[in-house]
Amino acid sequence: MKIVVCVRQGTDGLINPFDACAYEAALSINNAEVILLSMGPASTQPFLTEMTRLGASRAILLSDPQFAGSDTLATAYILALAVGELQPDLVICGRQTLVGDTGQVGPMLSALLLYPLIANVMRVVSTEGELVCETRSQGMQTAAYPALMTIERINRLRLPSIRSKTKSVEIWDHVRLSAQPERCGLHGSPTRVLETYQNDAGRRKCRFIEPSELETTIAEARQKDRHPVVASIQNRQGLKNVWIIGEEPREMASSVSDDICLIPRDTAEHLAQRIREGRPSAVLWASDAWSKSTAAQTAALLQIGLCADCTALETDGATLFMYRPAFSGSLIAKIRCLTTPAMATVRTTQKDDSDVVLAVGYGARNHFSALEKWGSAIGAAMASSRKAVDNDLMPYDTQVGLTGKTLAPAVYIAVGVSGAVHHLVGMRNAGTVIAINPDKDAPIFEYADYGIVAEVESVIS
């Protein structure tokens, strides 16, 4: 079996962690010929050379000044040309990069290649005859070859053996690929960042309390009346003919339009056809795994821009402006699509069964069982930070934040959570926020109503 693995060098100089899992998954398949494919500047060549030590038979670097500034669609186009030439049985991509974090390139690549996609793979069950994988949220999936899969963080990339040798890296430019220059780089990228702002959303004035006041503070916060402010377009000029795929994006759509049409979930091919015929001005998707991958496939089929994980929308009546955290979340970027319809996946608030959520971060790692006991005693639902999830302390479906879920409970108790902007995005609409952290300068206190400066073990035993 011939396998192409798409990899990218991270800002730390190492292989993007999700791509490391993709490479390991490929190397684990018996008798496979593994080809590494990477798009990047010429300076990434030594990284790719080093990667060949682990067992790839070839490594190809797609590098050309024309490719600079490519967004996800232009990147997928360039990768698709290379994969088209290599004719593999299987393409494996990491679920996402840690820099862009959109998770769009793999699904877009599958749509451009017309390969079936299995996204968010947790386990490769069989590669004999057809591809069978267990996925994160869509159960067992099967695909005929040639196929493409995107991999979660499910394994650890092997280390090179002492006697391993490197192979030389082939460099392919736009001429070698017969790429159309207008579909590469900035020219071929239908999304534009218009402005960036300091990200101050969700800041609160924190009152520091004693550990002994915790239980009464929670009880009082539970009783507080909440009047959620839902932005609405009334008395302003809204967008006409806005489509929502599934019910979840309706609240966000209402902030820019009162002309909203609900479209049921379907395949990317069918949805692309409906969009071609119905000509909406904007199409909004939820942020669950299915929506993210199907939105990316649909955008690739229509060759239009897709903005990921928007936290707010705005319009002047003609253009949709989309806001999302950028540059490690310290800034908010205002983005527009140059193509029509404007498309975005939007953060939607998940309704939780409990009015209290207890979020545990990496700082509470040695006290999880005590916290779980305490959480259950006060009737709290458990949640976590990404660092807790990445360290296998909590399951992914408890992760709150940009790449997790958004919650808005009456009370959000953050224990051992530093307050990275990526986390705050998912909890800033909570009624009352209570933070427990021994570091009085931890950013979480700037986004909390009540704070206890203490180690968790001295507050909850």
Q: Angle, to 10 degrees, between the axis of helix 105-113 and the axis of helix 289-302? A: 50
Closest approach of ligand FAD to the CB of residue 76, in Å: 19
CB nearer to ligand FAD: pick between 137 and 168: 137
* Least distance in angstroms from the C-beta of 323 to ligand FAD: 16
Tokens of 169: 């890296």
CB–CB of 312/249 below 8 Å? no
Nearest residue (CB) to ligand FAD, 284 versus 420: 420
What's the rounded Cα separation, in Å, for the pair 296 and 282? Answer: 15
Closest CA to 10 of 88, 96, 111, 77: 96
Q: Which residues in this chain contact ligand FAD in the complex, by CB under 6 A? A: 98, 101, 328, 361-364, 385-388, 399-404, 415-418, 420, 422-423, 426, 436-439, 442, 455-456
Closest to ligand FAD by CB, 63 or 96: 96
Give the start-end residues of each E strand in 211-370: 242-245, 260-263, 282-285, 307-310, 312-315, 320-326, 331-337, 342-346, 349-350, 356-360
CB closer to ligand FAD out of 75 and 403: 403
In angstroms, what is the minimal distance from the CB of 458 to ligand FAD? Answer: 8
> CB–CB of 199/421 below 8 Å?
yes
The distance of closest approach from Cβ of residue 9 to ligand FAD in the complex, given in angstroms and rounded to an integer, is 16
Residue showing the smallest CB distance to ligand FAD in the complex: 363
Tokens at 350, concatenated: 């998940």
Q: Is residue 309 within 8 Å of residue 286, measured between CB atoms?
A: no
The DSSP bridge partners found for residue 62 are 39, 172
Report the nearest approach of ligand FAD to the CB of residue 363 (Å): 2
Beta strands in 81-164 (DSSP E): 90-94, 117-126, 131-135, 140-143, 147-151
CB of 93 to ligand FAD, least distance (A): 17
CB of 211 to ligand FAD, least distance (A): 12
* Secondary structure (DSSP) of 29-77: STT-EEEEEEE--GGGHHHHHHHGGGS-SEEEEE--GGGTT--HHHHHH
- Judged by beta carbon, residue 363 or residue 375, the one nearer ligand FAD is 363
